[in-house]
């Protein structure tokens, strides 16, 4: 039985800002009411009658009539016949094909410059640096369903942002086994229920009308490293979910649950056992090394996304994450199916249909987290059923979804070898253009560098792309109007080296080391790739981290939310920017669009935790239309455009969190800063006045820790275990560097 956390509820307040409130009267996020949600909202409205515009007046008589009559039930027939978003947005990505394409065209290239905010609603959930706000909402008959990074589910009146119900997940707040931020990328609806996976490894169904919990199925125990961080799909009486945790020693799978009661109907392991299809791409059971024999049991292959479904072919499609352990291939010689792969299954039975592996024996964290997209296109005079996915490699892979064969051509080519990391002899190279530059810019501290598929072992190699580059989980959009795929990429350099860690149950199982490439530029691309040729139609190169999610419309537009807080609209044919709106907090979610039958609306979740020099807490949902009258907000602090010192300081006793733990596993900071060639770990520490801080040099050459204000200097600390301590007797913030290697930087905050 669930118990409600009353303490946390006290801090939860649904805040709401009506149309007509200009940015001048917008209240800062810190001001929270402690009254009940609905009461607070109604009070706010009645206190501000003069500020309310025409649209806001509708809020005083909330349009809950549809809710009282019961929300419309999404049926399998409607899902099967929906090819793109229309008045409603009934499933993740707008349709089972995940195209993120809407037939709405009221907002178009001629008038999009007039778009303005209609409402902004603060959900009072999922605020804080550990969370991400990455979901696009569903809209059914004017009711919006959206999850937050804490897996709390909200139903909002889509025209006003007013809350109709909230389901509080009450997931455990102490869970350091979630890989990449607390998030939920989108719920599913169908048969009168709302479905979602939770970070604690369970899956739930709620009553679509009331938000009441109907059933809960525990897929796995989160203490074992499993979490559900994806988006979810309902179809034909089944709900489909992947599972994450490849960095924590899990074995990935796709699971189908019965939508009525949550019992498991089938499961498909994305890491096959010996004797199963693909089982021979992992070490054999006869291998003399027991660690290798066991490799498949924690072989990773997370599924980060909602699958796509072709109702006519009866197939379900998804792509998979990296092999476990990341970066260390010596424990798992072989191609390691079905990691970093497309997989097609019979959706009713989970039976294997076909697969296509993007990266053999991945050692670079080149998993495939962006969602698959189904589309139809002419090739050589014939209409073909296609599927594509934008990879972390920086290529789009266009395949025939009936059989997994390339539509344009993908060549296996020999790649550089590193026998100690058991590298694959060849890798697939799609014919056409990559949507990013696949080679790093030189940095003085890294004599070893290389373009895509360059291997590494014990010495850090500067690489592009790596795990954060190419297309991240960011959903692309596909426009049948242009035939273009709109894809995102991080164009950032990173370093990789292998560091062995044995598998330990319930611990980080990611054996690479990543030395910060201080001074490297952080750039990203947004590219229209022509699905007929896999060539670039147009491309933008931007400063800062990649954005997360696109929307294409029949109005000839492409929308994207940016980490700098802007929602932008572009001409889908040319990429010309036609409209921009500053929401005030970074955006890490895909926009979507819907209509009340009269006006077209654009909605986006604004979460803000990415790409900024400071942590921006966000829990806002913004909705726009041509009739809106809410103005832009002030811009947030500038986004980071160079790799350097960022993030929260590590205090005495704190665990070294990723990426600081890449060399040192699950160590705590106890006053010792580890020096390597060429990095300080942790880079930013905070200690009380009077603390003695020790620099321990595990590198091979001498380094120093030299205060930038010349108040202290360790002098040379010899490699191979030399150490020097400095006692900080007065408060201050000390930036320091290594004299012979000035790109090595750190900070000591004394309080
Ligand atoms: Cu140095």
Instruction: Determine the distance separating the centroid of ligand 1 and the alpha carbon of 457, expressed in angstroms.
Output: 21
SS3 category, 102: strand
Q: Average per-residue pLDDT in the chain? A: 87
CB 189 within 8 A of CB 138: yes
> Cα of 470 to ligand 1 centre, how many Å?
31
Query: 613 CA to middle of ligand 1, Å?
Result: 25
> How many A from CA of 224 to the centre of ligand 1?
39
CA distance from start to end of the chain:
44
Alpha-helical segments (H) within 53-193: 54-60, 65-69, 76-81
CA of 330 to the centre of ligand 1 (A): 30
Q: Which residues contact 259 (CB under 8 A, 6 or more apart)?
A: 190, 191, 193, 195, 205, 234, 237, 238, 239
Query: For residue 255, how far is its CA from the centre of ligand 1 (angstroms)?
Result: 49
- In the CATH scheme, what is the homologous superfamily, with its name and number, of domain 650-750? Cupredoxins -  blue copper proteins (2.60.40.420)
> CB-based contacts of 30: which residues, under 8 Å, 6+ apart?
none
Give the model confidence (pLDDT) of 270-279 as tens digits.
999 999 999 9
Give the tens place of pLDDT for each residue, 627-669.
999 999 998 888 888 888 877 889 999 887 655 555 565 678 9
Q: What is the mean pLDDT of residues 672-679?
A: 86
* 160 pLDDT above the threshold of 70: yes
For residue 725, name the pLDDT band (cuts at 50, 70, 90).
very high
pLDDT at res. 665: 59
CA of 714 to the centre of ligand 1 (A): 12
Four-point Cα dihedral 562, 565, 567, 570, nearest 10: -50
What DSSP state is assigned to residue 224? Answer: G
User: In the predicted model, is pLDDT for residue 29 greater than 50?
Assistant: no
Q: How are beta strands 706-707 and 732-737 bridged, if at all? A: antiparallel
Domain boundaries, the chain: 650-750
Strand order in the sheet with 188-190: 188-190, 193-197, 202-207, 213-218
Ligand 1 centroid to Cα of residue 3, in Å, is 53
- The 10s digit of each residue's pLDDT in 603-632 is 999 987 665 555 567 799 999 999 999 999
| pLDDT at residue 678, as a whole number | 79
Cα(369)–Cα(322) distance, integer angstroms: 9
Among 742, 712, 713, CA closest to 730: 712
Local structure of residue 278 (DSSP, 8 states): T
Tell me, in angstroms, the distance from the centre of ligand 1 to residue 677's CA.
Answer: 7
In sequence order, what are the residues at sequence separation of 6 or more whose Cβ sits closer than 8 angstroms to the Cβ of residue 91? 74, 79, 82, 138, 188, 189, 233, 234, 306
Q: Is 3 helix (H, G, I), strand (E, B) or coil?
A: coil
Q: Is the pLDDT of residue 56 over 50?
A: no
Let me know if 28 is exposed, middle or buried by CB neighbors in 10 A (0-12, 13-18, 19+).
exposed
* Nearest to 561, CA basis, from 548, 577, 574, 576: 548
Q: What is the pLDDT of residue 699?
A: 84
Ranges 17-21, 301-305, 386-390, 546-550, most confident: 386-390
pLDDT at 214: 98
Residue 400 vs residue 613, higher pLDDT: 400
pTM value is: 0.87
- The rounded Å distance from CA 442 to ligand 1 centre is 18
Q: Report the relative pairing of strands 600-606 and 592-595 from DSSP bridges.
A: antiparallel
Q: Tell how strand 143-147 and strand 138-140 pair up.
A: antiparallel
CA of 720 to the centre of ligand 1 (A): 13
Radius of gyration (C-alpha) of the chain in whole angstroms: 25
443 CA to centre of ligand 1 in angstroms: 15
């Amino acid at each position: 039985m669930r118990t409600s956390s009353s303490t946390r509820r006290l801090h939860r307040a649904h805040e709401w800002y009506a149309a007509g409130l200009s940015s001048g009267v917008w209240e800062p996020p810190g001001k929270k009411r402690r009254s009940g949600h609905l009461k607070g909202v109604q009070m706010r409205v009645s206190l501000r009658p003069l500020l309310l515009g025409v649209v806001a007046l509708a809020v005083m008589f909330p349009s809950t009539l549809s809710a009282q009559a019961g929300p419309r039930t999404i049926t399998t027939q409607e899902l099967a016949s929906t090819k793109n978003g229309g008045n409603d947005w009934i499933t993740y990505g707008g349709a089972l094909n995940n195209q993120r394409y809407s037939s709405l065209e009221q907002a178009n290239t001629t008038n999009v410059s007039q778009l303005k905010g209609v409402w902004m609603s603060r959900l009072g959930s999922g605020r804080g640096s550990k969370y991400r706000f990455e979901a696009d909402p569903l809209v059914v008959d004017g009711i919006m369903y959206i999850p937050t990074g804490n897996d709390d589910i909200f139903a909002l009146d889509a025209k006003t942002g007013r809350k109709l119900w909230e389901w509080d997940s009450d997931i455990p707040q102490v869970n350091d086994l979630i890989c990449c931020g607390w998030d939920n990328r989108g719920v599913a609806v169908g048969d009168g229920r709302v479905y979602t996976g939770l970070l604690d490894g369970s899956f739930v169904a709620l009553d679509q009308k009331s938000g009441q919990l109907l059933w809960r199925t525990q897929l796995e125990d989160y203490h074992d490293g499993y979490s559900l961080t994806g988006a979810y799909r309902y179809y034909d009486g089944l709900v489909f979910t992947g599972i994450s945790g490849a960095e924590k020693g899990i074995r990935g799978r796709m699971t189908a649950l019965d939508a009525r009661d949550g019992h498991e109907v089938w499961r498909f392991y994305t890491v096959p056992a010996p004797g199963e299809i693909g089982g021979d791409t992992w070490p054999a059971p006869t291998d003399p090394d027991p660690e290798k024999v066991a490799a498949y049991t924690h072989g990773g292959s997370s599924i980060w996304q909602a699958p796509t479904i072709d109702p006519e072919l009866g197939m379900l499609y998804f792509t998979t994450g990296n092999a476990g352990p990341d970066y260390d291939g010596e424990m798992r010689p072989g191609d390691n199916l079905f990691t970093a792969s497309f997989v097609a299954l019979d959706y009713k039975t989970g039976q294997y249909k076909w697969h296509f592996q993007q990266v053999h024996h991945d050692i670079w964290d080149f998993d495939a987290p962006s969602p698959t997209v189904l589309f139809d296109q002419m090739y050589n005079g014939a209409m073909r059923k296609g599927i594509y996915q934008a990879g972390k490699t920086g290529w789009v892979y266009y395949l025939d979804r009936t059989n997994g064969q390339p539509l344009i051509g993908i060549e296996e080519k020999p790649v550089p070898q590193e026998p100690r990391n058991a590298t694959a002899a060849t890798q697939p190279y799609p014919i056409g253009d990559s949507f990013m530059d696949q080679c790093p810019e030189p940095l003085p501290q890294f004599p070893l560098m290389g373009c895509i598929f360059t291997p590494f072992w014990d010495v850090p190699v500067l690489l592009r792309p790596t795990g954060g580059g190419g297309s991240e989980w960011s959903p692309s959009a596909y426009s049948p109007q242009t035939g273009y795929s709109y894809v995102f990429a991080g164009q950032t350099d990173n370093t990789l080296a292998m560091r062995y860690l044995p598998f330990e149950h319930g611990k980080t199982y990611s054996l690479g080391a990543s030395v910060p490439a201080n001074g490297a530029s952080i750039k990203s691309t947004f590219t229209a790739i022509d699905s007929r040729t896999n060539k670039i139609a147009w491309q933008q190169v931007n400063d800062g981290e990649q954005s997360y999610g696109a929307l294409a419309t029949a109005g000839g537009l492409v929308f994207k939310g940016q980490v700098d807080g802007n929602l932008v609209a572009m001409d889908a044919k040319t990429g010309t920017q036609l409209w921009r709106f500053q929401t005030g907090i970074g955006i890490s979610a895909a926009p979507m669009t819907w209509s009340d039958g009269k006006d077209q609306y654009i909605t986006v979740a604004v979460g803000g935790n990415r790409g900024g020099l400071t942590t921006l807490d966000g829990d806002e949902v913004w909705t726009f239309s041509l009739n809106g009258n809410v103005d832009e907000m002030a811009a947030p602090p500038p986004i980071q455009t160079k790799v350097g010192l960022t993030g929260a300081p590590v205090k005495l006793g704190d665990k070294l969190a990723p990426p600081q733990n890449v060399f040192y596993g699950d160590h705590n900071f106890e006053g010792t800063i580890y020096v390597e060639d060429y990095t300080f770990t942790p880079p930013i520490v905070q200690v009380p006045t009077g603390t003695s801080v020790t620099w321990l040099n595990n590198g091979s050459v001498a380094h120093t820790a030299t205060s930038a204000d010349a108040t202290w200097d360790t002098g040379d600390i010899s490699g191979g275990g030399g150490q020097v301590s400095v006692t900080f007797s007065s408060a201050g913030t000390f930036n320091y560097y290594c004299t012979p290697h000035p790109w090595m930087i750190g900070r000591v905050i004394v309080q």
